[in-house]
Each structure stands twice: as C-alpha cells, then as structure tokens.
Structure 1
Amino acid sequence: MKFTEELREENKDIFQAIFHHPFVRGLGEGELPEDAVAHYVKADYEYLNTFMQLYGTAISQSKKREDISFFQGQVAFVLGDEIHPHRNLCEYIGIPYEQLQGFPLPPTADHYRTHMKSVATDGLLGKTIAAMLPCPWTYQEIGRELKEEFAPEAEHPFFEWIDFYAADSIDETVDYLKKRLDEEAEAASPEDRQLMKEAFRKSCQLEYAFWEMSYTKEDWPIREEVLK
C-alpha cells in the first residue's frame, strides 16, 4: 500500500465528517447563511496567501526542476484561477470580492496557518507536502461528492464552485502532490514518516475545523473594538 493510501485510510473518519458538515452540505443543496459564506471567504482569502507562501517554501526545499516548476505553477494557479470559486460565493451573497479581503484570520484559520508554517520550517519537502496536501485533496473529494450526489446544473447557486473543485486541474494538483509525498516517504526514516502522518492528520482536522469556523462565524473572544 502506498503511503498516501495509508493516509487516506487512516483519516477516512475526518474525510467523512467533512462530507457531512452542514457548510459542505449547504454547498450541494444550494443554500447557506450569507454571513457564514462571507466569513469563509474572508478567512480563505488570507489562508490562500499563506498557502502560496508555503509553495515558495517547497520551492526552496526542492532539488528537481520538475518540482520547482510545479510549485511555481501552483502559485500562479491560486492567483489566477482559485479566485473563481471565491467570486461565485461573493455573487451568492451580493458582496464584491474586494470588500472581503484583508481581514484578520479567525482563531482556527490562524492555528492552521501556524501549523503548516511550523511543519515547513523543518526543511524537509515531504513534511511540507504532508501538511499542505489535505487542503487540495479534501476539496477534490468534496467537489466529486457534491457533483455526483447533486448533479448541479448551471443555474445552481454554487455550480461554479462545485465544478471548479471537481475539475481535472484539481486532480492534476492532487495527483502530483500524492506522487511526490509517496516518493519522499519511501526515502524517509521511520521517525520522519511518522511525523508526516501526524502533520497530515492535523491538517485534516483543521480542514474540518475551517468549515466549522466558517459556519459558526468563529471570532476571537475579545474583539479589537472592545479595547478602544
């Protein structure tokens, strides 16, 4: 069994929990609280900024030009393409995308960012990929699940969001990251393989928590304006 197959099996409980989360179900059903959608977009915009920085870290850890080219391409993909599902959500709530940018991360998203950056500072590409992979992998499977179950047509409120994450471009990203993680894990020590597993599972946990954070509109317990 490949390392990534082990990871998927060991974390199937979290994947299933994500599929059944009310925010994810609402994407398929075509109805979500507008303030929850806005909260998600605000946090995800900043989260993706961190994700691009982590691709830069992965470049610095890469020894092959193939990897450098891939990670560079992923930065361009986030900048140029992954804004489209965000814009779909913004259309649903009737708020311009630009008005939802530049907000502080809520606690869960801030924890997720800190976790990935901490793992990446170790300097090993395999660990960096292990911490990053749950994001595109869970979204890939969410897109597939929603497309299969709800078969959305163009008039569905979240058709573009679902269609984007069910697309071949996401498959290509996930497949490459899985292939490279399998290769890195095969060459790693047992101790580093275990650390990769721990990093992957924590990111899976935080993927679920990100959906929950968005749905409940999680915020810091003491808001800045209270201190003024």
Structure 2
Amino acid sequence: MSKLSEKLYERAKPLWDKESENYFVSAMAEGTLDEEKYRAYMLQDHCYLIDYIGILEFMREQAEDAEVANFLKKAADSTRFEKDTVHVPNMKVLGITDEEISSTEKAPDSEEYLTYMMDKAKESLIYGITALLQCSWSYAYIARKVADRYGEKLESSPYTDWFSAYTSEEYSEANQRWIDILDRVAKDISHAEEEKLCEIFEKCAHYETRFWNIFISAKHEEK
C-alpha cells in the first residue's frame, strides 16, 4: 500500500515541475532577476514566515501526541531562527530598512493562502500539517530541480545562496522528518480522508503558484 506522502507527491509534482520553470526562479538561477523583484519577494516572504510560524505554534498547542507536538515546536523554533538570523540579515544587505519591514502588508494572494492554511489547521491537526508541508516540500523540490538544471552556472548567480539553503542536507532532513510525521499520523485514515488530504495539498500547491506570480510582471507571465 502506498504511503500518503507518495500520493501527495504524485498530485503536486506536475505543479512543482511547472513552477521550476517559472520566470522568477529561472532568473534567480541565471542571475538576471531584477533586484527590486527580489526585494519585494523577501518582504512578502518575511510576512509569510511570521504567519507560518504562528500556524505551527497554534498546531503545537492542539497536538495531543507528544512526538507531533515536539516536532511542531522544533519546526516553529527553527523557522523563527532562520527568519531572524538569515532572512532579516539578507534583507538588510539588500538595503531593506526596518521601516519597510514593519510597514509591508501581505499581498492579497499571500493573505488568502495563509488564511486557508490556518483554517485547515483549525479544522484538523492533520489537515494543517498537510497544508504546511506542501510549502516546505515544494521549496526543496523546486530548488533541487533548478539547481540540477543550471549546474555550475548557478555558482555565479548573486542568488546562489537561496538555492543552497533549500538544497542543503539540513533542510532536506528536516523536510523528510515532516513527511515521516505525516505518514505516521495518517497511517490508519480512511480512503475518503486520504483524498481530502490530497486535495488540501494540491490546493496549497496552486496557492504557492499564485504566491510566486506576485513577483512576476505581466510581460513575463505572457511568455
């Protein structure tokens, strides 16, 4: 019998493959992405991470399984650490000020995505775990696929650190722990519930596409 994670992967892979070809990540790999687009992405991603951490903490408070609660705590702590020690310093390197950071509001598509994930987390812990996993897993998949496609050429890109972060062994191991947790808690669910989780995962993959498209101009979207 297939694991839930295998079925989730099958549903999302076509969308992830398409995203690995989008203008934004391709331009990052080529080193041709306009810095203003990257600044906009970093500001929106900062807003996203704050709410993402909040959802993880909410789920931890709801978790009755000690292993799941411990995993969610570690996930929230590590995401917060990354935000504060890597993401924010990188924003400062780009010249983004504290005022810009504090005054930036979430884009409508990002707000809708985060609201959906929180709603799923409130509905069921396993729904929330599934929704948030899609983000983590998609970044690992897309970064690896693009890095493999560009090979050594990626090393000369000013955005190479973005790919290094999401293809790192540490990130891959953390993502695998998430997958393993979900497979364990979903071990005895019904077929109907399994299909519901696949639908949530796929919907989040579509939301992820909309998030990337925030930073792509109409000119590039038409290509």
**Residues 139, 188 of structure 1: alpha-carbon distance in 2 compared, 3 angstrom cutoff:** same
Structure with bigger helix share is 2
- Mapped partners of 1:41, 1:10: distance in 2: 28
**Residues 168, 82 of structure 1: alpha-carbon distance in 2 compared, 3 angstrom cutoff:** farther
Structure 2 partner of 1:33: 34
Checking the alignment, whether the CA contact within 8 Å between 2:134 and 2:205 is kept in structure 1 is yes
**Unpaired stretches in structure 1, ≥5 consecutive residues:** 218-228
- Mapped partners of 2:164, 2:119: distance in 1: 33
- Mapped partners of 1:87, 1:140: distance in 2: 22
Checking the alignment, whether the CA contact within 8 Å between 1:55 and 1:74 is kept in structure 2 is yes
**Residues 147, 88 of structure 1: alpha-carbon distance in 2 compared, 3 angstrom cutoff:** farther
Question: Shift of residue 161 of structure 1?
Answer: 1.1
Structure 2 partner of 1:95: 95
Between stretches 77-86 and 168-177, larger displacement belongs to 77-86
Checking the alignment, whether the CA contact within 8 Å between 2:46 and 2:83 is kept in structure 1 is no
Q: Which amino acid aligns with 1:109?
A: S
- Mapped partners of 1:81, 1:168: distance in 2: 15
Question: Shift of residue 78 of structure 1?
Answer: 1.6
1:95-126 Cα distance to aligned partner (Å, 9 max, x none)? 2363542311111101101110111111x221
Checking the alignment, whether the CA contact within 8 Å between 1:85 and 1:161 is kept in structure 2 is no
Q: How many residues align?
A: 213
- Mapped partners of 2:52, 2:176: distance in 1: 18
Checking the alignment, whether the CA contact within 8 Å between 1:37 and 1:89 is kept in structure 2 is no
**Residues 142, 136 of structure 1: alpha-carbon distance in 2 compared, 3 angstrom cutoff:** same
Q: Which amino acid aligns with 1:78?
A: T
Structure 1 partner of 2:221: none
**Residues 106, 179 of structure 1: alpha-carbon distance in 2 compared, 3 angstrom cutoff:** same
- Mapped partners of 1:66, 1:186: distance in 2: 15
Correspondences of 1:179-190 after superposition (within 5 Å): 179-190=180-191
Cα RMSD of the aligned pairs, angstroms, is 2.0
Question: Shift of residue 52 of structure 1?
Answer: 0.4
Q: Which amino acid aligns with 1:181?
A: L
- Mapped partners of 1:61, 1:76: distance in 2: 17
Residue 127 of structure 2 corresponds to residue 132 of structure 1: no
Secondary structure of residue in 2 paired with 1:105: coil
- With structure 1 as the length reference, what TM-score do the two structures score? 0.85
- With structure 2 as the length reference, what TM-score do the two structures score? 0.86
1:14-69 Cα distance to aligned partner (Å, 9 max, x none)? 01111011001111111212222122112111111111011112212322332222
Question: Shift of residue 172 of structure 1?
Answer: 1.9
Amino-acid identity (%): 23
Checking the alignment, whether the CA contact within 8 Å between 1:108 and 1:206 is kept in structure 2 is yes
Secondary structure of residue in 2 paired with 1:133: helix
**Unpaired stretches in structure 2, ≥5 consecutive residues:** 219-223
